[in-house]
Amino acid sequence: MSTDDSARASLSLPSMAAALRRPAVRDAAAESARAAGRPPATSGATLMTRDFSLYYGATQALRAVSLEIPSTSVTAIIGPSGCGKSTLLRSFNRMNDMIPGVRTEGEIRFTGLDLRAPSTDVVELRRRVGMVFQRPNPFPKSIFENVAFGLHMKGGMNRGEIEGRVETSLRRAALWDEVRDRLDKSALQLSGGQQQRLCIARCLAVEPEVILMDEPASALDPSATARIEELVLELKRDYTIVVVTHNMQQAARISDRTAFMLTGTLVEYDETAFMFTSPKEKLTEEYITGRFG
Ligand code: ADP
């Protein structure tokens, strides 16, 4: 049992509700969708899947997943290890393409763009749909060059423009004040939490629309975790964020919607305020309250 799991073992729905930032407000249209067994409709979904399945060779990792992720919001993907959270996350910027033997079925779209189409420009897609990984992975370069990296790759900007974009990105990642006097120093000298914010700044520098985060705080201490959570809440004003997390309270604290997965299947997807107070599925309640996982 991991630390997260043992912490969860003592949870109850009321205690999860306490972690929510806002109370569940009943919305009539959303209620009738729920009554009909559908997740509440989203206006202008940024990401969507319909009956989307993914196979690693003979292993089916995603089973007919259908969901819509609205823009400028935080969506958490939760579920036990191996249930397909990272696979679903990576599907949104085709990171799974790099794995030999991967096959997909069904539909997956980003603002209407068919992500399964061979003609999709994957380099441009990954600029628009950026990714932050579990372990901070700064390059062995200066702080400045880490953030400027994608700008050099893209080209077309002069030195002044690059400097401006690096500063803006570091400010948005809530790191500027800590590094402004040592931009030429190695990124590897930063603490783990600072490195993760640097990776977020690197992602922001190329002006993405979506940020995919795969357990972005699980390698960090509690205060660095809190800073990442604050940053996520700040960034969702301008970006669509999808975050995989093992930490139920974190999902309750930072997400607007939660998707609960089990063995490749999307069991339940709803507004977090509802999922953590009155889940429709018994399995969701059992998972959220730590009875398995
Ligand atoms: P989670 O993120 O929920 O822990 P993953 O998406 O990593 O789950 O994995 C889902 C399933 O796909 C698991 O059964 C896992 O073993 C399998 N899987 C993940 N990555 C690969 C891979 N590169 N090759 C083969 N199987 C994989």
Please report which confidence band the pLDDT of residue 284 belongs to, taking 50, 70 and 90 as the band edges: very high
**Pairwise CA distance, residues 254 & 233, whole Å:** 6
CA-proximal residue: ligand 1, atom 23 (nearest):
99
CA-proximal residue: ligand 1, atom 24 (nearest):
56
Please report which confidence band the pLDDT of residue 12 belongs to, taking 50, 70 and 90 as the band edges: confident
Pocket test for ligand 1, best of 86, 92, 99 (most atoms within 8 A of CB): 86
**Pairwise CA distance, residues 145 & 188, whole Å:** 12
63 lies in some domain: yes
Distance 23 CA to ligand 1 centre (A): 35
239 lies in some domain: yes
pLDDT at 32: 72
pLDDT at 6: 47
Instruction: Report the atom number in ligand 1 closest to the C-alpha of 84.
Output: 6
Q: How many domains does the chain have?
A: 1
Percent of the chain at pLDDT > 90 equals 81
Both tokens of 46, joined, read: 């940024």
CA-proximal residue: ligand 1, atom 25 (nearest):
56
- In whole angstroms, how far apart are CA 168 and each of 147, 164, 165, 171, 196? 10, 6, 5, 5, 17
Distance 81 CA to ligand 1 centre (A): 9
Does the structure show a pLDDT above 50 at 1?
no
pLDDT at 209: 96
Does the structure show a pLDDT above 60 at 125?
yes
**Pairwise CA distance, residues 189 & 143, whole Å:** 9
211 lies in some domain: yes
Mean pLDDT check: name the lowest of 16-20, 200-204, 240-244, 245-249: 16-20
35 lies in some domain: no
240 lies in some domain: yes
Distance 2 CA to ligand 1 centre (A): 19
pLDDT at 5: 47
pLDDT at 3: 46
Give 268's contacts (C-beta < 8 A, 6+ positions apart): 259, 260, 275, 279, 280, 281, 283, 284
* Span 147-162, pLDDT tens digits: 999 999 888 899 999 9
200 lies in some domain: yes
Percent of the chain at pLDDT > 70 equals 88
Total residues found in the chain within this entry: 293
Please report which confidence band the pLDDT of residue 63 belongs to, taking 50, 70 and 90 as the band edges: very high
Mean pLDDT, the chain, rounded, equals 90
30 lies in some domain: no
Pairing, β 129-132 against β 210-214 = parallel
Residues with CB under 6 A from ligand 1: 56, 59, 61, 79, 81-87, 99
pLDDT at 279: 95
68 lies in some domain: yes
List the CATH number of the domain containing 98.
3.40.50.300
Instruction: Report, as an integer, the average pLDDT of 258-280.
Output: 96
Please report which confidence band the pLDDT of residue 35 belongs to, taking 50, 70 and 90 as the band edges: confident
Q: Is 43 exposed, middle or buried (0-12, 13-18, 19+ CB in 10 A)?
A: exposed
Q: Which residue segment(s) compose the domain that 124 sits in?
A: 3-22+44-288
Instruction: Report, as an integer, the average pLDDT of 73-83.
Output: 97
Does the structure show a pLDDT above 50 at 52?
yes
Distance 255 CA to ligand 1 centre (A): 23
- For the entire predicted model, the pTM comes to 0.90
Q: Are 122 and 97 in contact (CB under 8 A)?
A: yes
